[in-house]
Amino acid sequence: MVAALIIGATGLVGKSILANAEKSELFTQIFTLGRRESPSTTDKVKSIIESDTDKWPDLIKNEDVKVFFSGFGSTRASAGSADNFVKIDYGVNYECAKAAKEAGVETYVLISSGHASKDSMLLYLKTKGRLEEDIKELKFPRTIILQPGMLIGERDTPRFVEGIAQTVMNWIHCC
């Protein structure tokens, strides 16, 4: 019996993590932690809804989970400023990872970004790279960091540049 916890389960990546975890026989229970209810389809999913992300670490410590997935993130535009982006993408993720470590999580899975580097001149990639480095320092028994390229799919809120890229990729794929 393995329980998992997912943060970011309402976003593009998190929805996919949740859908696959629900299908998996490995997980007997799945907790999602977010600001709104997750799109679950089975009884093995329990949504924990808390709009104040500062409270998330304490909520994580209350659950007995062995696998933690983070698909949680934002953009500078959605966050409203560079500082808020870093507070969300780095701060919330890192505080939740520390709580997961304290709670005895054995496998930590972070969805980061291709080309993430703490030395990048680009805020997004620099923030993702810094988070990766600090997550490694927590020394989970197993740490998995995935670095996908541009994410293509239907989003709740459209992103202009990604919309253009998706249109181009669809055109290339069909021709």
For 167, how many CA atoms within 13 A lie in the half-sphere containing its CB? 7
Confidence tier at 40 by pLDDT (50, 70, 90): confident
Domain boundaries, the chain: 2-174
How far is Cα of residue 51 from the mean position of the Cα atoms in its chain?
Answer: 16
Q: Which two tokens stand for residue 93?
A: 């993720």
CATH number of 2-174: 3.40.50.720
pLDDT in tens, 53-66: 999 999 999 999 99
What pLDDT does residue 42 have?
86
Q: Could you tell me the pLDDT band of residue 166, with boundaries at 50, 70 and 90?
A: very low
Confidence (pLDDT) at 133: 98
pLDDT tens string 103-148: 999 999 999 999 999 999 999 999 999 999 999 999 999 999 999 8
pLDDT of residue 149: 77
Task: Assign 165 a pLDDT band (cuts: 50, 70, 90).
Answer: very low
H-state helical runs in 24-150: 56-61, 76-79, 82-86, 93-102, 123-137
